[in-house]
Structure 1
Amino acid sequence: MKEEAKARKAQARAGVAPAASATNRDQTVPGWELTVGIEIHAQLNTAQKLFSAAATESHGTQDVEPNDSSHVAFFDMALPGAQPIFQSATLVPAIRAALALHCNVQPVSRFDRKHYFHWDQPAGYQITQYYEPLARGGYVELLPRDGIFGDSPVRVDIVQVQMEQDTAKTLAQPGDVHWLDFGRVGMPLVEIITAPQLHHPATAAALVRKIQALLHAVDACTSGMEAGGLRADVNVSVRRTDAEGKPIGPLGVRTEIKNLNSFRAVEDAIIAERNRQIAAIDAAEASGHPDPASVIESETRGWTPPSGAGESGQTHRLRGKEGAVDYRYMPDPDLGPVVIDEGLVRYLGLTLGVSPDEELDRLIEEYGLTSIDAAALMALDGGGRAQYYYDVVDAVEERLGASGDVGARAFVANWVLHQLGKLTAEKAASFDDSGVVSLGMTPEGRCKVPVDSLADILTFRYQGRITAGVAKDLLFAVFRGDVGGDNGTSVEQAIEEANLWFDEITPAEYQALAEEALEGEAKTLKLFLSPKKYPQGKLQYLVGKLLRMGPEGRMDPQNAEAAVRAAIERWVEENKMS
């Protein structure tokens, strides 16, 4: 601990803000408490902007040029005489977002002007909701499976949810030149402000991840952090704790780190800023400063991630921290109050659908998936992979004539999660020179492998009527378009035509082959008599020997292994008695 303190002091004197690394990724620092509050900005899923009818769809893609006239209205450019016209349709996703966070939607909310002068804000102010926001008083429940630090659930309060407009997009160019794309000005956002109740970097990152999942589940936002539809600002402060770990004194001076665009950046930036503040206070104490905590300034900082392996990222000062007085908040004189009918809120609450936690519980408890596989399934393809999985399970259970078979459901999940992914990763180049081949999964759960085709393959495989190798080859043939779909050849017809049915040998034949495989292996078999560690490698050697001896294409490796295990157990019993 003393060496770590010395290192932090040295970094503080050099003005370096240490980042997360292999040596300082600890979630806690002995003798200190970290406190974090987060502000999340998420773009609402709407066709028009917040205060103009300019389009929002496809912005930033190759189809839309920067500053395209269909995406930039007169009001977005703050041209003289242009007035804001509130687009009421933006309320629907905003209310859905607030309800997903268990907030109380206010019957009346109002817009305010937040003044600041920067090139990305052409009007010189941003329209937001400061005094009377859309919603207040929500919360998010974080569980250990969400990736938090520790084994106990964490509840984080939501102070308020407010609607506001986005700024222009700055495009840096060589030679200290910046271009501005005003297509992003006025994009409708919700800002979600949490209470300062987080004390571990991993938990803070888990909160952002959970909120993103909640917003996506209710169709409130266009995209997540990976596509630029969600950004996070974190407020960080530290204070000392006593020998029992209880904090000493009030919360420390907070700094704000702006525009973090990944979950990893949230965690790493918090660690870096925490360590910087602790190092600065340690250094001030060592130098005899009368008030060491005062060396931390209330300021806005940026985050520079590490540029390579083994390097550390840093937080860096951007500007002094503005307060409410600096922003000169005032009610917007051009916009009236937003009055929301209670019936609309009640209706939207009834149509939110299943929450991510409820769906995860269902996949674990009813479908037999691990928490990791269940979370991966929900995250892939914007939820499309999970819908595809449900449809394939239904089709397989219909073919099997049984419902609720947890073994079959877990079997299907393995193929939907892993084997589908391998199609594009391993075999795309074999039939497409471009090298850009995808499953084409839609949010509705449709892709290049039709549900019925995969259900046929998995039903035959689960019944043991085809081998795993044949199943994989058939899956690729369907993906390629040679089998299933619109070409007229069903999976069953393809198996019949190529004579791919699995004609497995009988249990008696397995037993005879296993006994034969053990002949002449006395030295190997002695390792099974009283092993300290089961000789798994030798078992596989004997299984491989059996598979080479038997008829090709008529043996199942799992059944072959079971037969060899049984033969070994009989040999061990006989030789123990002798």
Structure 2
Amino acid sequence: MTRVAAHVLRRYLLRGQLPTGGCLKRWRDCQHTSAIPLSTKRFHGTQASQETTISEPPSTPPTIPFRKQLKDAAKIRKAEGTKKVAKAENQSLKDWELTVGIEIHAQLNTKRKLFSRAVSTINDAPNTRVALFDVAMPGSMPIFQKATLIPAIRAALALNCEIQKKSKFDRKHYFHWDQPSGYQITQYYEPFAKDGYITLYAHDGIAKEDGEEIKIGIKQIQMEQDTAKTISEPGGIHLLDFNRVGLPLIEIITLPQIHHPSTAAALVRKVQQILDAVDACVLGMESGGLRADVNVSVKRRDVEDGGHEYSGVKNLGQRTEIKNLSSFKSVEDAIIAERDRQIELLESGGVVEGETRGWTINATETKRLRGKEGEVDYRYMPDPDIAPVYIEQDLIDHLQQTLGALPDEEIKLLSTDFGLTVKDAMSLISLNNGGRYEYFRNVVDELLPLSNQDLPTTGRLVGNWVLHEMGGLTHVLADEENPLRMTSDGDCIIKHQDLASLIHLYTTDKITGKSAKRVLQLLFVNALEGKEKSTHEVIEEQGLWFMPLSEEEYEELARSVLDMEVVKQILAGKEGKVKFLLGQMMRSDRDGRVDPRRAEGVLRGVIEGLRE
């Protein structure tokens, strides 16, 4: 067999072409194909081959698109009168107990891959960020990148784990096209973090059956490398992008202590918030930086021994694993579907098999992928090429001290000190990667010395403008992901000094509420057009300073909206009708000169003067 030089394979793997000599030529001639770049290499099914044309037998029925299958199934259910059960009413069953354990894979925020100096990115052109070790080039060796430890330890500390001073890497063997070496490097026997927990509260979205809070144990957190990205196309064709091979991940393994689908989804959401707060994770679930596998089992409530053990927890039903869930909704929906499938199977006399299953968005049931591998199947063994990792206490202490406030602490601070509702507090810390929260604090710090109000009153006022009034501006650029140009540091297209000045002018009656909203809109539009104008400049230019009406003008305006039939109802005791007439007065105010409180007082006086 002709030997292919390493530099030739390197050129091929990095978007080059193979020569036509040696055994590769003979293999190519047998396949009747020509060499193509790796970035467009195709795989059919599970067998790697070059792109070929295969004629289908005449008897093969036409393929029905999956979306059409879903629509047809929905029509059948509707015809049969099947009603979808609301999620809030589908969290617990009388005769069956659900148990869920979750494995969360999160991509670490690092510049390099886990065992090579290739750039850690998933956004560049396919197969352009690949080192020799990433694609298992013979003779290449792993070089552990120490910097990957920093975000990993920060994540583990935020999840209340014990950092292990010594950890080791193992090889998890399996064969698939997305893993060139035939094994994945992970930490099975001696992970770097163990014995943590996460506390979930009612405001996190847990099931009402779990009460006000619930604590879920974390068995361990381990570092491991990611696999290649597979892009599936119709006809069983799969494209591979090796940029993702070797990206540093942490796998967070919870104990099987979750018993309701919405609590499972709340846990994944909370983990994402925590990882983002400590700057450990690159992207969220919606962007592909975080994925979840869920292990689902059911057993009858009146059966003491379920016969199975998982992660040290006994008396469980046979579990199945649902892989690669990529949204919080998918986590909840997939668990409900798999729970119901297992119950239906057991009630009909069947047996639940240990297997790996898949889930498609908007599906109604999980789908079998393969039989469930066990530890023996993976043939775990210590990696002989990677030395143990030692973590000093000084590093742990430093990262603990610089961890900063976690989401639960920030929510408590915002609701107690700043007077916000829990819902608004959660929105602040979750929007714009924490940038909305930083912007809010900047506005409060700017406004507080100008006003005579206390911190809770100022906080509620600023929170309303930052969340709701500024949120209303974004419909102008609804297609943009971040129309306010908000950064994680709190910089915004509307300067926080301008918003603080605007709120101060409004609360001191220098402008009306209607004018204040218009000024905010103009500040936004001017910034989009590259025009830098302060709040005062916009007000001056538009003539929006509050010019109060005289008493005579208020009375004239009040009399102009009077309807004698409505007046009779008001005099008869129907006070609510006053608001109707007041609304008429406000609608006739085109210049923003009417003060609602003053207008209501004058209106009531005019009406009282009509009593006989």
- Given candidates 305, 318, 330, the residue that maps to 2:369 is 318
Confirm or deny that 1:165 pairs with 2:225: yes
Distance 1:562 1:37 in 2: 62
Q: Corresponding residue for 2:544? A: 500
Tell which deviates more after alignment, 148-157 or 97-106: 148-157
Q: CA deviation at 1:471?
A: 1.8
Q: Corresponding residue for 2:356? A: 300
TM-score by length of 2: 0.79
Tell me: CA distance 1:44–1:558, structure 2 relative to 1, closer, same or farther (3 Å).
farther
Point out where structure 1 has 5 or more consecutive residues left out of the alignment.
Answer: 1-10, 12-19, 285-291, 307-311
Tell me: CA distance 1:152–1:437, structure 2 relative to 1, closer, same or farther (3 Å).
closer
Does the 8 Å contact 1:198/1:204 carry over to 2?
yes
Does the 8 Å contact 1:50/1:187 carry over to 2?
yes
Instruction: Give CA-to-partner distance per residue, 1:335-381, whole Å, 9 cap, x none.
Output: 01000001100110000000100101111111121111111111111
Identity %: 51
Counterpart code for 1:543:
L
Tell me: CA distance 1:248–1:31, structure 2 relative to 1, closer, same or farther (3 Å).
farther
Alignment of 1:59-208 (within 5 A): 59-60=122-123, 64-68=124-128, 71-150=129-208, 151-208=211-268
- Given candidates 116, 121, 124, the residue that maps to 1:52 is 116
Q: CA deviation at 1:132?
A: 0.3
Counterpart code for 1:504:
P
Confirm or deny that 1:40 pairs with 2:104: yes
Instruction: Give CA-to-partner distance per residue, 1:106-145, whole Å, 9 cap, x none.
Output: 0000000000000001000000000000110100001111
Confirm or deny that 1:29 pairs with 2:74: no
TM-score by length of 1: 0.84
Q: Corresponding residue for 2:391? A: 340
Confirm or deny that 1:270 pairs with 2:335: yes
Q: Corresponding residue for 1:6? A: none
Q: CA deviation at 1:560?
A: 3.3
Q: CA deviation at 1:29?
A: 1.4
Tell me: CA distance 1:515–1:474, structure 2 relative to 1, closer, same or farther (3 Å).
closer
Q: Corresponding residue for 1:257? A: 322
- Given candidates 213, 216, 220, the residue that maps to 2:273 is 213
Instruction: Give CA-to-partner distance per residue, 1:178-224, whole Å, 9 cap, x none.
Output: 11100000000000000000000000000001111111111111011
Distance 2:411 2:162 in 1: 25
Instruction: Give secondary structure in 2 for the equivalent of 1:364.
Output: helix
Counterpart code for 1:36:
V
Q: Corresponding residue for 1:5? A: none
Tell which deviates more after alignment, 472-481 or 95-104: 472-481
Tell me: CA distance 1:196–1:388, structure 2 relative to 1, closer, same or farther (3 Å).
same
Tell me: CA distance 1:474–1:545, structure 2 relative to 1, closer, same or farther (3 Å).
closer
Distance 1:241 1:491 in 2: 64
Distance 1:456 1:550 in 2: 24
Tell me: CA distance 1:214–1:117, structure 2 relative to 1, closer, same or farther (3 Å).
same
Q: CA deviation at 1:103?
A: 0.3
**4+ residue stretches of structure 1 with deviation over 3 A?**
246-249, 402-405, 434-437, 482-487, 505-519, 521-524, 545-553, 557-568
Instruction: Give CA-to-partner distance per residue, 1:249-304, whole Å, 9 cap, x none.
Output: 421000000000100000000000000001111111xxxxxxx5xx1001000002
Instruction: Give secondary structure in 1 for the equivalent of 2:544.
Output: coil
Point out where structure 2 has 5 or more consecutive residues left out of the alignment.
Answer: 1-72, 74-81, 307-314
Confirm or deny that 1:413 pairs with 2:413: no
Distance 2:590 2:282 in 1: 56
Counterpart code for 1:23:
V
Q: CA deviation at 1:22?
A: 3.2
Tell me: CA distance 1:548–1:190, structure 2 relative to 1, closer, same or farther (3 Å).
closer
Tell me: CA distance 1:202–1:549, structure 2 relative to 1, closer, same or farther (3 Å).
closer
- The alignment yields a C-alpha RMSD, in angstroms, of 2.9
Q: Corresponding residue for 2:53? A: none
Q: CA deviation at 1:561?
A: 4.4
Instruction: Give CA-to-partner distance per residue, 1:375-401, whole Å, 9 cap, x none.
Output: 11111111111101110111122332x
Distance 2:383 2:367 in 1: 34
Instruction: Give secondary structure in 1 for the equivalent of 2:548.
Output: coil
Distance 2:239 2:583 in 1: 65
Instruction: Give secondary structure in 2 for the equivalent of 1:203.
Output: helix
Alignment of 1:465-504 (within 5 A): 465-481=510-526, 487=532, 489-504=533-548
Q: CA deviation at 1:436?
A: 8.5
Does the 8 Å contact 1:478/1:485 carry over to 2?
no
Alignment of 1:387-406 (within 5 A): 387-400=438-451, 402=452, 404-406=454-456
Tell me: CA distance 1:525–1:512, structure 2 relative to 1, closer, same or farther (3 Å).
farther
Higher RCO (Cα < 8 Å, 6 or more apart): 1
Distance 2:528 2:248 in 1: 45
Distance 1:321 1:363 in 2: 46
Distance 1:195 1:552 in 2: 62
Distance 2:596 2:217 in 1: 53
Does the 8 Å contact 1:98/1:105 carry over to 2?
yes
